[in-house]
Amino acid sequence: MLRALYLAACSSLIVLIFLCLAWELRFAPVHPGGSWLALKCLPLLAPLFGLLNGRRYTYQWAAMLILLYFTEGVVRATTDHGPAQWLAIAETALSLIFFCTSVAYARLTRPSAR
């Protein structure tokens, strides 16, 4: 169970990083040719190594960070049209998967649960 949560959290974060980059540089950029909004993936790189190493504290604060991406995905899913709307739905789903799996991982690895 713990291994599945670890894999789901890490893979959803990595896919979300690539989705943010591809979205703003190639698939549906705000401005033709790409935009500086692609830099929104940089905060997602901060927890990556802590997650890959299984650090519980990183899972805890990354769960709060991902709520910003969930909010952006919901807003853009309801306001954008075409491919950007589908990318926003994917961002929302990935951030929701990451949030749920990271909270579950942090809960299962707490010292009182052992």
How do the pLDDT tens digits run along the chain, 114 residues long? 899 999 999 999 999 999 999 988 888 777 777 778 788 899 999 999 999 999 999 999 999 999 999 999 999 999 999 999 999 999 999 999 999 999 999 999 988 866
CA atoms within 13 A on the CB side of 49: 1
Please report the pLDDT score of residue 79 as a whole number: 95
User: What total of structural domains would you count in the chain?
Assistant: 1
Residue 22's domain spans which residues? 2-113
Please report the pLDDT score of residue 106 as a whole number: 93
Q: Which residues contact 18 (CB under 8 A, 6 or more apart)?
A: none
